[in-house]
Structure 1
């Protein structure tokens, strides 16, 4: 059974045994075999446990100089069930930000103990496979080691016979076809005697596959070769797939760890439970530094206080390995009482490389160089080759490198081994299976920083011949400004969305103080003094409509890395005042506000953007498909507090509703009120909503589909699926006209009342145009004005366009005002609103306030008027051929219908036109 040979000698055939004697003989024989087998299985198990204990007891944190007991340094991590579904192309900082907000909402019900990861709650369906996600450096591999060590030392999971652990970075090196048994014995020689198939069937096994994101194996789940025997040979990638699909070791549990970027490599039907490792909270950060500096708690307190004072550093210290980097750096910085204490991530990385250089120089003793700069200069060529490696692998979103990867970047292996001894706090060399080597940067941010170093040096020297795959620039000569602008465009694009920190570091290196710290590596020649100023201007001028929300935030944080805090200071000042009408918020201000809300420790119960005065680029209702994707993601992630979502007046169409329903149908969505008023929804969109409400029928109580075209069939579908008496469905003001883009869906027909036309005015064009009819007037009458009322009153959502010629006004007022007061009072009370064009200037009047609005040279003549009576919004727009520009918006609580009117002067005319 376990490979041992046993010989049984039966009595001579002539020797007879009685029936009872035969029974006793075979009975004892079977017992002997069973006991012998169990004894041997126990020996294999104990031997394997001892090996696993030895392999996992000691670990190094960051570099090989600090080999420590895992039990001593391990800090309990927060693991939750569920896990968010961040888009794969985004940078992992987005995942961290989601976790930072979500941590305040997670309760113990969703927490998972590491040792209990395969233990089901009462009434919960048993699951076979667990996928644990976590950003780089969050502690996935440490958790695997801790889980294995606790099993091996018999501190947990003693009902499990074997825990087999594989790292994908090692599996990548396994070539040819192998059986599962051969693969196991290659990694774990103690299992050589586990030969019979029954040995795997009759034992409880957990297989751990660590670091799916590092896999370079072809993992084909569709139409792959099925393997059911542990002795059947196939490719290593196919062995892994068959383990995940349950063809191999169907009774075993499978635990897979991965960065979020690769989690979707496994089809969801093969994952029983999704979990997520969350970062350190404030108390854990404090605990970490107190443990690191147990002999100097004052230093621990100073470091913790400094980190909490810097938004960027505090945010990154959610990651355990970043805490380790911070400990190494600030031990040197605070120990030497340096005046320049790093505040930004670029400053931190520059000082980190500098302090580690100093640290290595002290250890080397016999080095002929005397300064950090000369030491860095000595190794400049190697460091830039390292930067090239970092950049090339960053493009592939890869964190591990093999010898061939280094050789492709011109790095000699002997040189790498020698230099890694000096820079092993930056680049770590690991010996893995078959004594082969694998190299990793201590953290993704370090890799991104080195990539930025390489690119910055290439830009300074205008050496971009090897950057064609990234830049796609045809000309050979470029200014540094051109190269930086192109990089911004690339990183903000979806294909390179995972390179956000790279861009921050690249622009942070424009700061002279950061380059001075790295003087031995970076040359400053070729950098004009105004480049930094020009690129800041460019970043602020970028149109944000086609950029994701996280891309906008990244632009803001890039400026922070350049030590430009103007936008942040403006938004902080803006939030302090109660009257916010004096300052207009740009998209960049909104990005700063979003960033502040994300990192705030306080919960925000209501965010009403209508209460802020925003620029037209922000206020115009133009949610794109990409933005809806992010909204759907927000509805999907667990513990979301969102209960009320108003998307009114966005041209989502049925396709946008379909995307939104991906969040609405999630079991985690607790939305109670959803407004899709004026979103161009038809009966097809209603079908998507019906499907989502079938999947998640409990929570939604109010659905507003007014100003759409659901038709009777769409309304009936929704009413049938939601027969809850508390459910309120609104579908008023629906028609085919609502399936028009922008405000045109609210176009209304306005005609002028002939009974209000004086002898000085002339009506034409079906009572839509009124003009001043009398050419000659006395001097006294030249400044006289006339008013003409419309035949309609407006009490819903309306949009009209008015062609204005010469000096004239558009008025909206309550009907009672028109009847009882003279025209001279219009705009000078609280019951009328007036927009006036006079002598090339525009101004609005209401409540005795007269405000001039920005509209230099009123050339277009066409004025757009938008009224949302129920919402209390009245806006005036300048209309051009391809856009609307908001001139002014009034927010009121209207008490009655508004009647349009016009006021004319000599030579003026007004025409109400139908928006096309």
Structure 2
């Protein structure tokens, strides 16, 4: 009995060792985890037995001089236990989140609150230095139908068109958009065995915690041991045997130089060096090239990593409208309240746009939940300024009740709260001037806050100001979001001016208290005008939100809420009217669309909607096209169109005014649209120059442009062509019917089509005097390898289908009934073929396939021909010679296993492969694989297979052969499969 138990134990353990040493090591780790969970034996006893047998096995392996196997077994066995401990640690670390704050408040289960984010694949590496609110506003206008989305659990899974595995992923997104939560969810899903179980270790780092160690030296092994004690206890010093993912969150917060150009090369994971050298070599792939890396960053910092070091860029766009609603329904237990909040946010454009940012959804939910409970007939806040003031009020009230023993009826702004707000406001303003979102002790000291006071503030105003420490050696401080820092900075500027008369935004004014006479009646008009001028001078809009909030603070209703923080009463009624007029004057000065839009938001904060309402009335009455609009009114129309919830799929200039002036004034709307119709609008060469600049814009969305029946002439098209060559131009369809073009324009367009960056697929040149030579020049360029054209419409009225579309050689197939195997049933006029168990009553014939479930067509092909088939299950799509055997050995008669046939094998289970002379070549499986196109060019000796998806062909494989006789389309089916011709 003892012997039997011992033998069973040893046999089981040796099988585990064999699996551990195999390539499928991850399965062994997973099995061990399941066994530990289900085992009824004493865990410590079982562990001791396994360790004793492992030592014995290692001893014998070394006696057998199998040191490499012994080392690998030891490493991987220790790693299995380490993986389980690491998963347990990550589960504890990430299972709960504190929305918006670092360490206080009520924790929420991540899996319970997590709402899927909108993530797109294929983002660009261009530096976007615009204010992130501008970026969010642009995202809210963008058409999303053609973007390729990706889920967080698939972040390292290559798409079918990728020909190599993904090592390094960079994920971009503005502050508060959910990048950190995304990485935490990825790690938690792995730790809970939900996904990515091929990975043995996930090591999440943040650049915040690496910053505090920047003066120290580490090897890669030491760095991992420093942060993840489980790996140190397991004595894991070799990482090459494992699938590892390193997560580096917050590249924009990195204070390491990351000198990729000059840092020395490092390849040894045990060699100590500076963190800068360590990270650059890890990212470059010199150090531990087998590891996978995930780096997150705000857009402005993405260029710190060289493009060649990143395999794929993804963008986190935040919440879609559907995801916003899902978030609020999860956030509110009372679904009636949730519905009220969702409806309210839809009525406010500012709140609706900002709620693309998940952390702003949380701020909104925090405020609106409190106001719904206590509002006593008050309206819900509609502007950003109102929302943030209420947010401050909520936190101040919580502080009084929780820490000061106050009552609900006490004054909102206690002396302690006022002091905290003054200190945090000064810190926010000082650090905003420097561009800092993360503050260290030295930063705080510069704003007059000592480390002790900062800890008190973070412990009290937890949802505004955060302190993080723990495994870090230094304390880090930050506001929960950039917009909160900007609100407090604006509040600091406002209070400083109202209470002391000092304009912090006026560099010429001495920063000292003004005369008592001035303080008695502070007029905020001058402050607002200075702020407007300063914001308009900023090239990237970094003061946009500060300006919006600063102006909103002077609204009488907001002044009432701020009573207690202000020692003086500002004269706001007259000042606000003067500010509104000043803003309208600036709007009329021909500003960029982004600056103009922000000034309209400022007018909204002042409750002045006169310009917008005037244009809306013109639109409603249908009289807009007959009116002469002022520059300010044109800007108002741009604001209305860009703010529309309906999106900008198609822009038709004639709806507003069929004129060149209208096009020039509404150009921002053209850029943001998917399709633009500007046909027959009396455009000239001047318009072409402007449109060319539009097509060269980084923010261009336009894919289709209709310029028909405008007198552009050759000079105009030449100007337009500069934009068409731009790498930012995404235009796919261009229509130039009757635009007074000659053969010179053919030369211009031929040059455009040969450009590698040209994306044109469809071109309409009807009713132009192009001439024979012009047409020849244009058609000759269509053979250029860079040309992507599919459709060209010319004077003759016919459509000429161009490369790469081979469907002009389409041919109908007819099944040879004398070849059909008896286990294949035909239907639908012999175009549907299905494998069945019952034999079909086909007559005997020497051409009938006996052994294999196959058939051939009657079409003997010697020229060019194209056909398509749909398939299910597992099938063979082939061409074969008539002499292929119909019975006997499967190699002689099965398609692809001999020199008489060329075959594509398609399977839902095993993927795609091509066969000839019994040689198999696997090929990547397409994402939508069930329709295949086949093109035979018999004279050229090529047979090509394509995946067909949404009418587009994607090349799969081409055989090159010498066909000496006719070949026949042929098909083979495995059990339960079907083919449709």
Q: TM-score range by the shorter chain?
A: 0.5 to 0.7
1:24 to 1:158, Cα distance in 2 relative to 1, 3 A: closer
Cα deviation, 1:216-246, whole Å, max 9, x if unaligned, reads: 2212233332222223333323322222222
Task: Tell me whether 1:38 sits opposite 2:76 in the alignment.
Answer: yes
Q: Which of the residues 648, 672, 678 maps onto 2:734?
A: 672
1:420 to 1:725, Cα distance in 2 relative to 1, 3 A: closer
Equivalent position of 1:690 in the other structure: 752
Cα deviation, residue 544, structure 1: 5.7
Task: Tell me whether 1:145 sits opposite 2:207 in the alignment.
Answer: no
Task: Name the SS of the counterpart of 2:472 in structure 1.
Answer: helix
Equivalent position of 2:418 in the other structure: 380
Matches within 5 A, 1:212-611: 212-294=251-333, 296-338=334-376, 339-364=378-403, 366-367=405-406, 371-375=410-414, 377-461=415-499, 471=507, 480-525=524-569, 527=571, 529-542=573-586, 547-609=591-653, 611=655
Larger mean CA deviation between 411-420 and 617-626 belongs to 617-626
1:192 to 1:98, Cα distance in 2 relative to 1, 3 A: same
| Contact 2:761–2:790 (CA under 8 A) maintained in structure 1 | no
1:705 to 1:334, Cα distance in 2 relative to 1, 3 A: farther
1:446 to 1:671, Cα distance in 2 relative to 1, 3 A: farther
Cα deviation, residue 663, structure 1: 4.1
1:79 to 1:433, Cα distance in 2 relative to 1, 3 A: same
Cα deviation, 1:853-884, whole Å, max 9, x if unaligned, reads: xxxxxxxxxxxxxxxxxxxxxxxxxxxxxxxx
| Contact 1:279–1:318 (CA under 8 A) maintained in structure 2 | yes
Cα deviation, residue 143, structure 1: 0.7
Cα deviation, 1:521-570, whole Å, max 9, x if unaligned, reads: 23444546422111211111116666321111111111111111112212
Cα deviation, 1:132-168, whole Å, max 9, x if unaligned, reads: 1122211110011110111122211111111122111
Q: Distance in 2 between matches of 1:289 and 1:635?
A: 31
Equivalent position of 1:90 in the other structure: 130
Q: Distance in 2 between matches of 1:28 and 1:286?
A: 60
Larger mean CA deviation between 598-607 and 237-246 belongs to 598-607
Cα deviation, residue 115, structure 1: 0.7
Cα deviation, residue 265, structure 1: 2.8
Give the aligned CA root-mean-square deviation in angstroms.
4.2
Larger mean CA deviation between 433-442 and 649-658 belongs to 649-658
Q: Distance in 2 between matches of 1:228 and 1:286?
A: 49
Task: Name the SS of the counterpart of 2:314 in structure 1.
Answer: strand
1:27 to 1:279, Cα distance in 2 relative to 1, 3 A: same
Cα deviation, 1:647-703, whole Å, max 9, x if unaligned, reads: 99899999996566334565xx43434799999xx99x9699638733335525158
1:587 to 1:645, Cα distance in 2 relative to 1, 3 A: farther
| Contact 2:493–2:504 (CA under 8 A) maintained in structure 1 | no
Q: Distance in 2 between matches of 1:36 and 1:182?
A: 20
Task: Tell me whether 1:202 sits opposite 2:266 in the alignment.
Answer: no
1:32 to 1:619, Cα distance in 2 relative to 1, 3 A: closer
| Contact 1:208–1:254 (CA under 8 A) maintained in structure 2 | yes
| Contact 2:497–2:503 (CA under 8 A) maintained in structure 1 | no
| Contact 2:96–2:108 (CA under 8 A) maintained in structure 1 | yes
1:653 to 1:123, Cα distance in 2 relative to 1, 3 A: closer
Cα deviation, 1:59-106, whole Å, max 9, x if unaligned, reads: 211232021221121112222212367762212223323332335424
Matches within 5 A, 1:177-196: 177-192=217-232
1:507 to 1:719, Cα distance in 2 relative to 1, 3 A: farther
Number of residue pairs the alignment of both structures matches: 695
Equivalent position of 1:764 in the other structure: none
Task: Name the SS of the counterpart of 2:583 in structure 1.
Answer: helix
1:166 to 1:556, Cα distance in 2 relative to 1, 3 A: same
| Contact 1:162–1:206 (CA under 8 A) maintained in structure 2 | yes
| Contact 2:249–2:297 (CA under 8 A) maintained in structure 1 | yes
Cα deviation, residue 370, structure 1: 5.6
Task: Name the SS of the counterpart of 1:130 in structure 2.
Answer: strand
Q: Distance in 2 between matches of 1:332 and 1:590?
A: 40
Equivalent position of 1:876 in the other structure: none
What's the TM-score once normalised by structure 2's chain length? Answer: 0.63
Q: Distance in 2 between matches of 1:705 and 1:425?
A: 66
Equivalent position of 1:662 in the other structure: 726
Larger mean CA deviation between 518-527 and 451-460 belongs to 518-527
| Contact 1:133–1:259 (CA under 8 A) maintained in structure 2 | yes
| Contact 2:696–2:726 (CA under 8 A) maintained in structure 1 | yes
1:658 to 1:698, Cα distance in 2 relative to 1, 3 A: closer
Cα deviation, residue 605, structure 1: 4.4
Task: Name the SS of the counterpart of 1:256 in structure 2.
Answer: strand
Cα deviation, residue 381, structure 1: 3.3
Matches within 5 A, 1:791-810: none
Q: Distance in 2 between matches of 1:421 and 1:24?
A: 57
Gapped runs of 5+ residues in structure 1?
1-5, 7-20, 731-916
| Contact 2:467–2:476 (CA under 8 A) maintained in structure 1 | yes
Task: Name the SS of the counterpart of 2:557 in structure 1.
Answer: helix
Q: Distance in 1 between matches of 2:149 and 2:162?
A: 15
Equivalent position of 1:701 in the other structure: 763
1:598 to 1:482, Cα distance in 2 relative to 1, 3 A: same
Cα deviation, 1:445-489, whole Å, max 9, x if unaligned, reads: 111111111122233356658657xx4668998974344223222
1:37 to 1:491, Cα distance in 2 relative to 1, 3 A: same
Task: Name the SS of the counterpart of 2:476 in structure 1.
Answer: strand
Q: Distance in 2 between matches of 1:625 and 1:215?
A: 42
Cα deviation, 1:607-656, whole Å, max 9, x if unaligned, reads: 2445535999866688999997775446766xx65444799989999999
Cα deviation, residue 704, structure 1: 12
Cα deviation, residue 506, structure 1: 0.9
| Contact 1:553–1:595 (CA under 8 A) maintained in structure 2 | yes
Gapped runs of 5+ residues in structure 2?
1-50, 52-58, 666-685, 784-788, 796-981
Q: Distance in 1 between matches of 2:592 and 2:768?
A: 28
Q: Which of the residues 105, 110, 114 maps onto 1:74?
A: 114
